[in-house]
Chain A
């Protein structure tokens, strides 16, 4: 399964709508880095509104995506993390520090604009 990546100006938008198994998560990581490279995007919003489970593996992949994109010069914002998912992550002991987040896609785009002073 492949997660669609949309391009909007110099941003990439991703809304994860499927149950995330490990392989899908890893494919997504590779696809996104490739897209950042070919489109020279400067910002990425990953919307997690429909994601019902983030376990330690998926959390690690997401955290890695943020640091890797950062290295390539693209800021990533995670949006729409459900309350139940946020609580579960903290109880798992995963704090996703240094990962920019926002309430929804719109706020996420706003945050990118601000961070890049545009």
Chain B
């Protein structure tokens, strides 16, 4: 099985392609329907942020394993403008685009682990994991 795959985000339809790939992989890994919805939604948020704020980037998927757990790792990366105030964008309701501002704080709640690296002018990399319960 190919455990590492990615979708390039360049146009709006790629957001749909990314979540379809994420749903397929999370099904294969053995996630239940609610977790599949959580993972797919998280991917949709990350992919749309890339499309809206960075113009283009990538969503990478990986099936991951420890001794006693299986899960999925999703990495969203772009070479866009980066994020100046991280604590602000992680607040519910903060948006620079007239959105609901639910994306990033929502992804953190939907997934089990969440990590963000960003540098103004360089880009943003968000890594997030979910484990099969």
Chain A residues packing against B (C-beta within 8 Å): 19, 21-23, 52-57, 59-60, 82-85, 87-88, 91-94
- Alpha-carbon distance A93/B34, docked complex (angstroms): 16
**A21 touches which one: B13, B106, B110 (CB < 8 A)?**
B13
Contact (Cβ within 8 A) B12 A93: no
Chain B residues packing against A (C-beta within 8 Å): 12-13, 15-16, 19-20, 23, 33-34, 36-38, 40-41, 44-45, 48, 92, 99-100, 102-103, 105-106, 109-110
> Do A92 and B16 form a contact, CB below 8 Å, given A52-B37, A53-B37, A84-B33?
no
Among A53, A60, A87, the one with the most B-chain Cβ atoms within 10 Å of its Cβ is A53
Contact (Cβ within 8 A) B37 A87: yes
Among B20, B37, B44, B106, the one with the most A-chain Cβ atoms within 10 Å of its Cβ is B37
> Do A57 and B16 form a contact, CB below 8 Å, given A84-B37, A87-B37, A91-B109?
no
Question: Interface of chain A, helix or strand or loop or mixed?
Answer: helix
Closest 10 A/B residue pairs (Cβ): A92-B106, A84-B37, A55-B44, A56-B102, A84-B34, A88-B37, A21-B16, A56-B100, A91-B109, A93-B102
**A87 touches which one: B23, B34, B40, B100 (CB < 8 A)?**
B34
A55 to chain B, nearest CB (A): 4
Closest residue of chain B to A60, judged by CB? B100
> Do A57 and B106 form a contact, CB below 8 Å, given A22-B12, A84-B33?
no
Contact (Cβ within 8 A) A60 B99: yes
Contact (Cβ within 8 A) A54 B41: yes
Contacts of A54 in B (CB 8 A): 41
**B40 touches which one: A23, A52, A57, A92 (CB < 8 A)?**
A52
Contact (Cβ within 8 A) A53 B100: no
